[in-house]
Structure 1
Amino acid sequence: MSRAKEPSARTAPRRARTWRDYRGYLYVLPALAVYLTFAVLPALHTAYLSLFEWDGVTLGSWVGLGNYREVFADPALRGSVVNALVLIVFFAFLPILAGLAMTGLLARHRRRGMGVYRLLFMLPQVVPLVAVGVTWRWLYGDDGLINETLGGIGLGGWARAWLGDFDWALVAVGLVGTWVLSGLCMMLFLSGVQKIDPQLYEAARLDGAGPVREFVSVTLPQLRGELAVALTVTTVAALASFDIVYVTTGGGPGEETTVPGLLVYRLAFSDGKVGLASALGVLLSLLILVIVYIVNRLSRPETPERSLRPGSAVRSRS
């Protein structure tokens, strides 16, 4: 005779949900309402406007994906995206390398006055970017501090109108972003160093590790999360840059420093092409989301595979 199978686990009867089970959502509603009103709805409205040819005043006409095709077909629009991708090197990679270098110098031995270091290097984050742009425009001027310094040390041949040079304008603007964001990266990494167990450094020193090996083997692996945050923030700053470019070069000379953020402003408020500006803004947002998603995927810590797959059962041998 075959015996009926007994259930491996008995499920408890479900009880009816009450208002107390949902009261936690009440705390989320104010923030959710603000987010939907000022972030989600404007984004959806921008995507809607990108399907029209509209000057912002008269009645718009439906063009479907025509604005998106124009973004890919227009060399000026494609060039602005390329310039933004180049700025990632100066806004993201160089600040992260500088932040890691400064962190490596300060992490081997805990020193007093770490708060002073953070304050000094975070000053560019406190100063408004418009003021930063005005200051660096003076530094890059013909009689600015940079050219005067080059002339004083015998390198006057290198002096030039940095922001007006077709070959160096984008590099000059990018270095401003490097100066602004290096302090932010350093602060993130120094905060991450504070949570590293000092015994790890002691063990590395007992094994004969030098400063470089200690940084590579101990400090850098422990800063994986901070590296992901720094790369995400700086990459978004590069792709969405507007203030520094607008104040320093205005997109010139020619279109050498034109970035999508500046071009969206021009198309919408100067050229009366709101639909085209919306399409460029939507594509820029999608590009940022894709890059952020890739960064977050690569920065996830590796987790060991589960020994049992979901839904699988261990069968006992009779």
Structure 2
Amino acid sequence: MAISRIPGQRWYTPYLFPIPALVLFGVFFAWPAITALQLSFTDYDGVSPPVFTGVDNFVRILGDSRFWTALRNSLLFLLGLFPLLVVLPLPLAALINQKLPGIRTFRMLYYLPVVTSMVAVAVAWNYVFHQQGVLNWLLTGFGLLDEPIQFLLDPTWALPALILVEGWKSMGVYMMIYLAGLQTIPANLYEAARVDGAGAWRRMRSITVPLMMPYIAVAITMAMLDAMQAFTTVFVMTKGGPQDATLMLGYYIWSEAFEKYDMGYASAVGLVLWVLLIVMALLNYRLTGGKQAER
């Protein structure tokens, strides 16, 4: 069946509408991605013309101990964020999905860190973790510590501190994603489960979690992207220290490119990170979203 054309409309008119979006996509994504791919095979300092070096940058990655440290820290960062961004927001979303007094105010306050600048959040938490900060004051006041700890200068505590900050800042986003999913579940399923004598835990395990798998898959993917590309928190709070304890791939790429001016090598590390994220996203799809899609 032929689609009738509006009188006076030229055949190419519909094709003009996506052009602005395609231009923005090309300028801000496609062109930088292609350029980075080209630079990853060169020796380039940002000033002199790039010199083609083949796969030397990738061979260098294999023997670069700081790259493997950054990769390990990024994976540990992801593991630490997983319960804060993927697991905990689900019961919180189930809580705020109830009709309780003051629940709208709680939603607003809980989401407030999300719309706050990450730089402002990191600076504020710097004071919290300071040796004379609020956290040390509370811990020593309750007798949990004998003496204050320099959390951000201690290799043992620096990474957990960043995990706490990143999780606190982003948890509201994941909670709202889950809340949107919970509101699509028919209420009669829960009513039938209550009639059958199912408790809150059984309803969560047998109804909520299976029906929320597509949303959980989205949350896992977003958490992987956030964790593996973390930069602002590291840059403001620790600069990758102490002793590379918080050196992560996002900050390592920036450091190689804009502190050491080794743009070619930084592009190669960025390409490796890009491939790693694709593999992790495909694995996540296979384990969660793919199974749901096949039903």
User: Structure 1, residues 114-168: CA drift from partner, whole Å, max 9, x if none?
Assistant: 4333221111110111111101111000011110000111112374111111111
2:43 to 28, 47, 53: 53
Given the superposition, is the C-alpha separation of residues 164 and 133 from structure 1 closer, same or farther in structure 2, using an over 3 Å criterion?
same
Is 1:84 the counterpart of 2:71 in the alignment? no
One of 262, 265, 274 as aligned partner of 1:273: 262
TM-score (structure 1 length as normaliser): 0.85
Report the counterpart of residue 129 of structure 1 in structure 2: 118
For residues 221 and 117 of structure 1, the distance between their equivalents in structure 2, rounded to whole angstroms, comes to 27
Q: SS state of the match for residue 156, structure 1?
A: coil
* Alignment map for 1:217-256 (pairs within 5 Å): 217-256=206-245
Alignment-derived partner of residue 247 in structure 2:
258
**Correspondence 1:36 to 2:34:** no
- Alignment match, 1:182: 171
Q: Measure the CA separation in 1 of the matches of 2:74 and 2:15.
A: 40
Alignment partner, residue 90 of structure 2: 100
Q: How far apart, in 2, do the equivalents of 1:127 and 1:265 lie?
A: 23
Q: Which amino acid aligns with 1:148?
A: W
Amino acid at match of 1:303: E
What code does the residue aligned with 2:237 have? T
TM-score normalised per structure 2: 0.91
The answer on 1:65 being equivalent to 2:55 is: yes
Larger Rg over CA atoms: 1
Per-residue CA deviation, residues 235-289 of structure 1 (Å, 9 max, x unaligned), is 1010110000111101000111011111111111111211101111111111112
In 1, the alpha carbon distance for the partners of 2:281 and 2:108 equals 28
* Aligned mates of 2:22, 2:49 — CA distance in 1: 33
How far does the alpha carbon of each residue in 1:75-127 deviate from its partner, in whole angstroms, 9 at most, with x for none?
001111111111112333322211022124344x4335543332211111101
Tell me the equivalent position of 1:311.
none
RMSD: 2.2
Unaligned 5+ runs, structure 1 = 1-11, 305-318
SS in 1 for 2:17: helix
